[in-house]
Each structure stands twice: as structure tokens, then as C-alpha cells.
A and B are shown apart, each in its own frame.
Chain A
Amino acid sequence: MTDLLLGPGPIGAVVKALVVLGVVMGIVGPMVWAERRIAGWIQNRQGPNRVGPFGLLQPLADGIKFIFKEPMAPEGAHVPLYVLAPALSFTAALSTFAVIPFADRFAAFGHEIWPIVADLDIGILWVFAVASLGVYAIVLAGWSSNNKYAMLGGLRSSAQMISYELSLTVSVVGVLMVAGSLRLTDIVTSQANGLWNVITQPLGFLVFITSAFAETNRLPFDLPEAEPELVAGYHTEYSSMKFLMFYMAEYANVVLSACMITLLFFGGWHLPFTANLLAGAAPIVAGLVGIGIFLAKVFFFLFVYIWVRWTLPRFRYDQLMSLGWKGMLPLAVANLVWTAGLILWKLA
């Protein structure tokens, strides 16, 4: 029974997909709360503290408010695409989690459990492919709203995301060369000796995290929705659940980036000393500790995301483009050359 539910078969995949969905949505809600509390802390004010203990129920209250708001479409909007855009954004953001491994395979209850929905041999390409479809959501939202601010936001976003996708993918090639595989579990296994990719490829990590910020439209790269100039950019005309879907997709993308940073550059579920400590432990304990380590690292990078948001001011649009094309892309190529040299030197 547990083999059927948690093994690699189709039923196991559906069960695990639901679990992963629950975990991701379970992180997204509290993350909104954490972001506002940490923002308050950084700006020396309180943040939400009225609904429930420490304001913890605030995301729930916000969610209920969104559900009960009246859904409406602006005059002259292209309604089918106007409705499709947030759904596409949300679907794309959640589909990427199918290939994210939460820990190594471990035995429990007499069966082997794979804490991943689909262990594709091209896992990382799946993430890039689905994420690149997410761009359409923003472009369409901007176009179908029949609003010039939304339109400008949508156009900016497509240019920004395509520009930074380039340096994002090139910075990952170094990691793939070291691992010799596109499977995310293999990439983590290649760092099991404690030599994390962030140590061997600091430049690649820098380019990756910068581009990831740009891809998720977070400050300092949130130009598609820059409030002072574009009202709210592509989601100016969205309200109720449709707005909530954009909102949740954005946070799901942030969680995804934190997962990717952890898997690609920070050794996933490994810590340098845990392998020895866990050698004698029961497999289920080792597996759960692995999941715990992975989530702890992810939470740290989520904190970094919030931290950066309240530290750096927004870029100007020409600065953003020149940083992407003249700064990040050459650095990513430099990292590629550096990593190739490193591999050759180690082989020789």
C-alpha cells in the first residue's frame, strides 16, 4: 500500500504532487506574513500584529477578503485572455515543483520512498521550460487589461525576463558540467563531498542569484510593477481571486528560486558533518533529517529575499538592461570558462 502511495508509479506521483502542493502553499501563506513582519522589523515598526497571535492569522484573513471581493473586468478588456493570464501564472509557478527533490531516497515502513514527484533526467530543463512559459502570463495580463500602465508593465517584464533568463541558464551550465547530469538529484549528489558549488563557482552563484531576483520580479528588479511610475504594472486592473493568484504565483516563484539556489549551489539536503553523524541512524531518521536540512536552507534564502527587498532601491530601466546584457552575461560566460578550466585541471 505505501509502495503504491509513495513509489514511482502514477498513483504515487498524484499523492506526492498533492503533498508538494500542500507544502508549497503552506510556505507561501506564512511567507507573506513573515515578509510583512520582517519589513516592519527592518523599518522599526510593528507590522501586522492584530489577527491572531503575532498577527499569524493575517494571511488567512487576507485570503478570505480576496475570495469575497467582487470579481470584475475593465471595459474593453479581452476577457478570455484576461481570465487566462492569472491561471497560467499560477499553474506555471506550481508545475515547476514537480522536479524539485526534497531529500535523498530513503527506506521507511519496508519500502523505498522518493521525496520527489517526477525524477526527470532533464529536471532542470523542465524548470526553465515551464518558467519561460510563465512570462506569457504577465505579458497577456498587461495586454488584455486595456490599460496603458498594465501594457507598459507587461512589455517591460517580457524584455526583462528574457534578458535575465539568458544569464540565468548560462550560469547554471557550470553546475551541470561539474555534475555531468541534468537530473537535480545527481546535481545534489555531486556536492555530497562537502565541496558545494558555491565554493568552486562563486561567480556563477552571484550571477544566478541576481538573475533569479530579476526572474521573480522582486525588488530591486520589480520594474514590471514599479508603483511610482506604473501604478501596479501588469496587475493594475486585477482584483479578488485573480489578483490573489498572481500574488501567490509570485511567492511560489520566490520559493522555487530558494529551492534552486539550495539544490544547485548549497548542497541540497547535505551538510558537511551530517553524513558521519547519520551513518548509524535509521534510514527514516536520515531521510527526515535530510528534508529538515533542505527546508532550513530554503527558509534561509527566503529570508535573504525579504532582506534584500528592504535593503536595495529599485533600478532604472536602462540600468537594469545594461546590467543584464553587459554585466551578468559576460560574468556568466566567464564562470563557464573558469569551471571548464577547473575541471580540466582536476582531470589532468
Chain B
Amino acid sequence: MTPRELFFWADAVVAVLTAGMVLLHRNAVVCALSLVMHLCTVAVFFVLLDATFLGVVQVIVYAGAIMVLFLFVIMLLDPKGEGVTGRMGNIQLFVTLGAALLLVAGILRILPALAVTNAGGGAAVPEGFGAIRGIGEALFSTYLLPFELASVLLLVAMIGALFMGKKEIVE
């Protein structure tokens, strides 16, 4: 086993465990923290795939910024013992199981295709792959329109949140 594979399997075990914790733990704060941990393990996957920049950005954006706000909200609301029970709980259970089954079926469907592309250890990593220069050039040339549209969408969402959060508009 090469060091890379060793890291992969160690990371994969932690990733699955933390993902399970997000769903199964009863304490919402611990769930949020498990998600942070899980996002960090995904960052390690990026690094193992030679996309160091994406890995670090994953930590900065998701683990460092977004999840802190999640935790902030969870701590302010303090949802103690507010589970869904009774009939709604049963419906939720069935929906969850159905979604899980669909997901497994989808994975099984694409698995043969993945196995083919991975035969022979995959293609060699090109020079400068995953570096910030390449990503920047792709974003500002090939994918300029989607990139700008996404930024406008985020701006609209931000202004909308600001508008709805304001209690009264002062003329």
C-alpha cells in the first residue's frame, strides 16, 4: 500500500464516520461539528487528488466561514429535544429511506463506468493541475458567463436576505 492509499483509506474511514455522526447524533452542536470535520476530510481528498488549492478553499469557505454561521444559529436557537415524532416522524422516515435507496441505486448504476476510467491507475496529472493560475484562467475565460451569473445570483440572494431581515423600511 502506497502512502497515498494509506492516507486515502484513513481519511475515508473518518469521512464516513463523521458523515454518520451528522445524521445520528442527538446534539445539534455535535452534528454541526461533525459536518465541519467531514468537510475537512473532503478537503484531504482534494489534496490527495493533487488539487491542493481546491482543498484549502474547501476548508476556508465551508469549514471556516459557512459552518461557523451554522453553528452560530444553532447555538442561538438551542434546539434541545425538538425531534419530529408521531405520524410526521414516520413519513420522514419513509422519505429518508426512499431517498437513500435512490442514492444507492444511482451509485450502483454509475459504478461500472467509474471502474473503467480508473483502470490502469488513471491518466497522469498534467503540469500545474489544480493550481490557482489554471483555475483563475478557466473561470475568467471558458466559464466567464456562468461565473458572473453565479455572482449576480449570490448578490441577489444577499440583497433579498437583507430586505427580509429588516423589520421596517425607513423612507
- The answer to whether A and B belong to the same complex is yes
Judge whether A125 and B56 touch: CB under 8 Å.
yes
- Cross-interface CB contact of B75 among A122, A151, A165, cutoff 8 Å: A151
9-residue interface stretch from B12-20, B66-74, B81-89: B66-74
A154 vs B68: C-alpha distance in the bound complex, in angstroms? 11
A287 vs B56: C-alpha distance in the bound complex, in angstroms? 31
The residues of A that contact B59 with a CB separation of less than 8 Å are 129-130, 132-133
How far apart are B53's CB and chain A's nearest CB, in angstroms?
6
Judge whether B52 and A136 touch: CB under 8 Å.
no
**Can you report 5 A-B residue pairs in the complex whose CB atoms are below 8 A from each other?**
A81-B30, A128-B60, A129-B56, A132-B60, A133-B63
How far apart are B72's CB and chain A's nearest CB, in angstroms?
5
- Cross-interface CB contact of B64 among A132, A139, A159, A182, cutoff 8 Å: A132
Interface residue? A158 (CB, 8 A): yes
Supposing A121-B52, A133-B63 touch, asked if A158 and B68 sit within 8 A by C-beta, the answer is yes
Interface residue? B48 (CB, 8 A): no
How far apart are B67's CB and chain A's nearest CB, in angstroms?
8
A120 vs B55: C-alpha distance in the bound complex, in angstroms? 13
The residues of A that contact B10 with a CB separation of less than 8 Å are none
- Cross-interface CB contact of B72 among A155, A165, A182, cutoff 8 Å: A155
A126 vs B33: C-alpha distance in the bound complex, in angstroms? 20
Interface residue? A143 (CB, 8 A): yes
Sort chain B's interface into a size bin. 20 to 34
The residues of A that contact B71 with a CB separation of less than 8 Å are 136, 139, 158
A136 vs B68: C-alpha distance in the bound complex, in angstroms? 7
Interface residue? B29 (CB, 8 A): yes
Interface residue? B65 (CB, 8 A): yes
Interface residue? B93 (CB, 8 A): no
Interface residue? B36 (CB, 8 A): yes
Interface residue? B107 (CB, 8 A): no
How far apart are A134's CB and chain B's nearest CB, in angstroms?
9
Interface residue? A135 (CB, 8 A): yes
A128 vs B36: C-alpha distance in the bound complex, in angstroms? 16
Interface residue? A162 (CB, 8 A): yes
Q: Chain A: interface secondary structure? A: helix
Judge whether B65 and A125 touch: CB under 8 Å.
no
Judge whether B68 and A135 touch: CB under 8 Å.
yes
How far apart are B110's CB and chain A's nearest CB, in angstroms?
31
How far apart are B48's CB and chain A's nearest CB, in angstroms?
15
Quick one: which of A164-205 are within 8 Å of B by CB?
A: 165, 182
A313 vs B76: C-alpha distance in the bound complex, in angstroms? 29
Interface residue? B99 (CB, 8 A): no
The 10 A-B residue pairs whose C-beta atoms are closest, nearest first, are A132-B64, A129-B59, A125-B56, A129-B60, A129-B56, A143-B75, A158-B72, A158-B68, A122-B56, A135-B68
Q: Which residue of A lies closest to B27 (CB)?
A: A78
A130 vs B40: C-alpha distance in the bound complex, in angstroms? 11
The residues of A that contact B139 with a CB separation of less than 8 Å are none
Interface residue? B145 (CB, 8 A): no
A237 vs B75: C-alpha distance in the bound complex, in angstroms? 18
Sample of 12 further A-B pairs with CB below 8 A, known A132-B64, A143-B29: A78-B29, A120-B52, A122-B56, A125-B56, A126-B56, A129-B63, A136-B33, A136-B71, A139-B71, A139-B72, A140-B29, A158-B68
A136 vs B36: C-alpha distance in the bound complex, in angstroms? 10
How far apart are B4's CB and chain A's nearest CB, in angstroms?
14
Quick one: which of A97-149 are within 8 Å of B by CB?
A: 120-122, 125-126, 128-130, 132-133, 135-136, 139-140, 143
- Write out, one digit per residue, whether chain B residues 25-53 have a CB within 8 A of any chain A CB (1) or not (0): 00101100100100010000000000011
